[in-house]
Amino acid sequence: NAGVTQTPKFQVLKTGQSMTLQCAQDMNHEYMSWYRQDPGMGLRLIHYSVGAGITDQGEVPNGYNVSRSTTEDFPLRLLSAAPSQTSVYFCASSYALAGAHFQYFGAGTRLSVL
């Protein structure tokens, strides 16, 4: 019963490097999203997807790309990492139904950009 799996758990990057944060869910959820958590800021939505092949921007999308080629996977790409992207990243998923109003979260990826 894996739920939402995020890899890696920790990552250190140098400014300008690129990397992909992986997210996979095994609950056949249509809706997936990425958040970042910063001190005093709560969780802020980066990108989201309502189904395979469909993605859209959230509140803080700059510097991040996403794609959704399958229902299960929703990777987040940092093309050129910046120190401002140091944060804890959470992936979440849920059914895209009006009654399914809460999301399941992964354990997070702690990213440091030097």
Partner 1 sequence: DQQVKQNSPSLSVQEGRISILNCDYTNSMFDYFLWYKKYPAEGPTFLISISSIKDKNEDGRFTVFLNKSAKHLSLHIVPSQPGDSAVYFCAARIYIQGAQKLVFGQGTRLTINP
Residues that bind partner 1 (CB under 8 A): 4, 31, 35, 40-45, 48, 50, 56, 58, 90, 92, 94, 96, 98, 101-108
- For the CB of residue 15, give the shortest distance to partner 1 in the complex, in Å: 26
- For the CB of residue 78, give the shortest distance to partner 1 in the complex, in Å: 20
Q: What angle do CA 13, 56, 89 make, to 5 degrees?
A: 30
DSSP secondary structure string, 22-65? EEEESS--SEEEEEEEETTTEEEEEEEEEETTEEEE-SS-TTEE
Nearer to partner 1, 14 or 98 (CB): 98
Total residue count of the chain as it appears in this document: 114
- For the CB of residue 80, give the shortest distance to partner 1 in the complex, in Å: 27
